Amino acid sequence: METPGFLEPFVGRWTKRHLLDLESLTSDEITLLLDVAQAFKESTQDCRHKLPLLTGHTSVNLFFEDSTRTRTSFSLAARRLGADVIEFSASSSSLSKGETLLDTAKTIQSMCIDTLVCRHRAPGIPQMLAENMDVSVINAGDGPHEHPTQGLLDILTIRQHRGDLSGKTVAMVGDIAHSRTARSNIWGLQKLGAHVIVCGPSTLVSRRWEEFGVEVSHDLDTILPRCDVLNLLRIQFERQYTRPFPSVREYALLYAMDQKRMQRAKPDILIMAPGPINRGVEITPEVADGEHSVILHQVNNGLAVRMAAMWLLGAGRAR
């Protein structure tokens, strides 16, 4: 299929073969990804319609951690673009027989694939694959390191509802210590001019985050009136070896976004959460389902961002 008119302005502007993080991207590269994602949304009725731009391409989802939103979103994005999709299951692969991860990946590569989407609990695995394989690699989350497409979809959601990010105050609240989403958001938001606050218990939000140029707070009620956006991060008990606070009830009392706190927030505040959300812990049901919540908008934007990334790394990349 010939490149549709709405994508013509973007052809050849992307030069990277992989999408591994937002830390290494420039503000122009981040903006390009966002612009392409927005173009896909507007031209396909929120990514409902197929565009056979990657016909003949094969994408493999190599996931070593549980996932609903991200895995489904990448699969749908590839299929919306006409690519074939292979779903890899670690539990039923030769890894259980002692084969190394790299040997497994190279075996899959030998079947003439084009894109490898990788999620792993260990930081740096997508980078290692990119350095040792002859295919495009997209990082779908590597431990607590980064989750670039989640960061992009969060930023796209803010941009759609609030326009230019320059001067906006975005607070990420919760388990910052274990959050790859927080790291990707920090890099992306700062490069686009936003002021970033990280907030949560001191056991999960170290003062060392100030070295990244962000504001650190342990008191949600103090920062709340200044925030344009709240991104409520899940407490990742599965990555913790000790309980970082006395009880879930106490955490919710101090950091959950509820109706009482909404009354002290800006009238047009955006409430976001990367999911899965724990109702009653990070956010109460009435706020999660309320008029300020854009949580489901984030999910839809994830499809657009992943379509943009796959197209740019494939047919849209400068050769």
Q: How many residues does the chain have?
A: 319
The C-alpha atoms of residue 285 and residue 273 are separated, in whole angstroms, by 13
Binding residues for L-aspartate: 97, 180, 234
**What string of H, E and C letters represents the secondary structure of the chain?**
CCCCHHHHHHCCCECCCCECCCCCCCHHHHHHHHHHHHHHHHHCCCCCCCCCCCCCCEEEEEECCCCCHHHHHHHHHHHHCCCEEEEEEHHHCHHHHCCCHHHHHHHHHCCCCCEEEEEECCCCHHHHHHHHCCCEEEEEEECCCCCHHHHHHHHHHHHHHHCCCCCCEEEEECCCCCCHHHHHHHHHHHHCCCEEEEECCCCCCCHHHHHHCCEEECCHHHHHHHCCEEEECCCCHHHCCCCCCCCHHHHHHHHCECHHHHCCCCCCCEEECCCCCCECCCECHHHHCCCCECHHHHHHHHHHHHHHHHHHHCCCECC
Residues 6+ apart with CB under 8 A from 112: 58
CB of 87 within 8 A of CB of 93?
no
Q: Which residues contact 185 (CB under 8 A, 6 or more apart)?
A: 150, 151, 154, 155, 170, 172, 196, 231
Residue numbers in the known binding site for carbamoyl phosphate are 69-70, 119, 147, 150, 275-276
Q: Which residues are annotated as a binding site?
A: 69-70, 97, 119, 147, 150, 180, 234, 275-276
